[in-house]
Amino acid sequence: MPARNKEQETEILQWIEDVLGEKLPSQQYDDVLKDGVVLCNLINKIAPGSVKKIQTKGTNFQLMENIQRFQQAIRKYGVPDEEIFQTADLFERRNIPQVTLCIYALGRITQKHPEYTGPRLGPKMADENKREFTEEQLRAHEGQLNLQMGYNKGASQSGHGGFGNTRHM
């Protein structure tokens, strides 16, 4: 299991506060996120109306539903499935680094949404880097000997004797 990164966790909490425009209760990272309420508020702030119903208190099952609603909302928002944590990763603290990764992914995806003008999380996403090559540039390598074409440092098969020859002792 990957180690937890306190700096990233602090950065995420700071980002969530910036997005929500309010201070989070100063608890542990996983305590703040555990019931899914903060996460639901976060995605609603990023993409209004994403989560219709948020359980602020209730049974574990009801609180876990918050996390599931958050997961559905960010999936719809564009976070790839492989970056979305499992409910137990957060709720049972099985894999907090995966939760961190997921929130970073959400922060990254906000950059693809022009309607989102809130605070950024993590590095700026690279814009498409399109390269144009001229025909001449593309052909420039053709005169060179490709190393895969059997260049073998001057070794040759001279003196080999050919196929099916008897051995000369």
pLDDT computed for residue 156 by the predictor: 62
Given a cut of 60, whether residue 151 has pLDDT beyond it is no
Flag whether 151 is in a domain. Answer: no
Task: Tell me the pLDDT band of 127, cut-offs 50, 70 and 90.
Answer: low
Whether residue 98 contacts residue 84, with contact meaning beta carbons closer than 8 Å, is answered with no
pLDDT digit string, tens, across residues 3-56: 899 999 999 999 999 999 999 987 799 999 999 999 999 999 999 999 999 999
* Total tally of structural domains belonging to the chain: 1
Flag whether 96 is in a domain. Answer: yes
Which range of residues forms the domain containing residue 67? 6-112
State the average pLDDT over residues 99-121: 95
Look-up of token digits 């906000």: 110
- Output the DSSP codes for 43-108: HHHHSTTS-S---SSS-HHHHHHHHHHHHHHHHHHT--GGGSPPHHHHHT-S-HHHHHHHHHHHHH
Flag whether 164 is in a domain. Answer: no
Flag whether 166 is in a domain. Answer: no
pLDDT computed for residue 23 by the predictor: 94
Flag whether 73 is in a domain. Answer: yes
Whether residue 19 contacts residue 48, with contact meaning beta carbons closer than 8 Å, is answered with no
Given a cut of 80, whether residue 111 has pLDDT beyond it is yes
pLDDT digit string, tens, across residues 68-98: 999 999 999 999 999 999 999 999 999 999 9
Query: What sign does the CA torsion over 4, 67, 84, 86 have?
Result: positive
Given a cut of 70, whether residue 108 has pLDDT beyond it is yes
CATH of the domain at 38: 1.10.418.10
Look-up of token digits 């993590």: 122
Flag whether 54 is in a domain. Answer: yes
